[in-house]
Amino acid sequence: MTIRNLMLAVSALGVLAACSPAEPDEQAPPRAARIEAVQAAATSNQREFVGRVEARLTVDLSFQVGGRLAEFPVSEGQLIEEGALVARLETQDFERARRETQVQLQQARQNLDRQRTLNERGIASDAALEDAQTAYDLRAVALDNARQNLEYAAINAPFDGLISRRLVDNYTTVSAGQPVVRIQDVSELRVAIQVPESLIAQVDRGDEPDMVARFPFLPDQSFELEYRELVAEPDQASQTYTALFALPDTVPANILPGMTASVTVNLPQSLSNQAQGVVAPLSALASNPDGSFSVWVFDPASGAVSRRAVLAGPIEGGQVVIHSGLEPGEEIVTAGVNALHEGMLVRPITPINR
C-alpha cells in the first residue's frame, strides 16, 4: 500500500469516527441525605417543668465580734420565733472592757468638773477646759462601743424561721463575720423553675399564666402558684431564666425547702396561634442571604430536593417550630443542607434504614 492510499484509509476512519454518536457521560450517583417527615406542632398550651422549693429568705447569721461560743441552743430543723436566742459568745472579756471604760469615763467626768471650776475662777485656761471636754467625750464613745460589743456577743433570730443548718459546733472560737448558723424564712414557700428564653419572649408579664405544683409524695393534691419574681440574668450554661412562684399558705408542714415539685404551666390562650405549624430539627434550617430561613424539601417521586422558604418560630431542645412553609407529613433534609443545590438527586437515609 502506498503512502497516499494509507493516508486515505486513515482519513476515512476519522470520518467514520466523527459520524458515530458519542457515548453519554455517566450521571453522578444520588447523594445520601437524612430525610425526616415533619410533625404537627403541639397545640396545647400546657408545659411541664421541674421545680425546687425554696424559702422566702435564707440568711447566714454571724457575730459582729469574735470570741468563743458558750451557748448554741438551736438544732437543725428547729422552728424558732423572732427574737429567740440562737447563739451566744463568752462575755467575760466584753464585760471587763465595759467596766474599764465606765471607770475611765468617771475619771474623765471628774477631771472635766475640776477644769470647769478652775476655769471659772480664772486659774485654768480655756484650752485646758476644751482638752478635758474632749477626753470626756472620747471616754463616752468608748463606753458606748463596749456596751455595743457586749450586745453583739449574742445572736437573736431576726424573724420567725427554720434553722436549716448549724455551720459550726458549740465551743468553737469564731471570728467576726464568720457564719455560724443558717436560718430560713418559711412564712412563704416558693417554687423556682428554669424557663427557656423562647418562652420568656412569648409571655407578656402582664398576662401571667396559670401554674400548679404537685409533689410525688402527694399525688392526689395540687397547689396553685402565684408569681413573685423573675431573675433577669440568665444561666450562662443553659440560657434559662429562674422564675419564682409562691405556694399557698395551706401547704402541708412536711413540704420543706429543697424538695422537688412538678410544675404545670397553662399558657395564655393568646399563645395558641403561635404554637401552630410543624416541628422540625434545628439542623434542617438553611440561612438565606437576607437573614430568612429555608429548608430542602424531598420529592419521593423524582428523588430530587427543592429549596423552600419558611417562617421559623421559637427554638427549644434542638427543635424549631415552623409557622408557615411546610405541611405535616412533608419530608425534608435534616443534615448537610449546605451541600445541596436545586434539583439535586438524593438517596434517603431514614432513622430506620440507618
φ, ψ of residue 44 to 5 degrees: the values are -75, 140
What's the confidence (pLDDT) of residue 39? 85
Are 228 and 245 spatial neighbours (Cβ–Cβ below 8 Å)? yes
SS3 content of the chain, % helix, strand, coil (to 5): 25, 40, 35
Q: What's the chain's length in residues?
A: 354
* Burial status of residue 21 (CB atoms within 10 A of its CB: 0-12, 13-18, 19 or more): exposed
pLDDT band at 20 (very low <50, low <70, confident <90, very high): very low
Interatomic CA distance for residues 300 and 303, integer angstroms: 5
Fill in the DSSP letter of residue 275. Answer: G
Q: What is the DSSP string of 7-50?
A: HHHHHHHHHHHHHSPPPPPPPPPPEEEEEEE-EEPP---EEEEE
pLDDT band at 260 (very low <50, low <70, confident <90, very high): very high
- Cβ-count burial 253-271 (b if 16+ within 10 Å, e if not): eebebebebebbbebeeee
**CA angle 15–16–20, rounded 5-degree value:** 120
Interval 314-341 mean pLDDT = 84
pLDDT at 277 over 90: no
pTM of the complete model: 0.62
- In Å, what is the CA distance from 226 to each residue of 205, 216, 221, 240? 13, 20, 17, 20
Among candidates 298, 300, 296, 328, which has minimal Cα distance to 310? Answer: 296
pLDDT band at 49 (very low <50, low <70, confident <90, very high): confident
Range of lowest pLDDT (86-100, 120-134, 197-211, 292-306) = 197-211
- Kindly report the average pLDDT of the chain as a whole number: 84
Interatomic CA distance for residues 314 and 322, integer angstroms: 8
3-class DSSP string for 83-109: CCEEEEECCHHHHHHHHHHHHHHHHHH
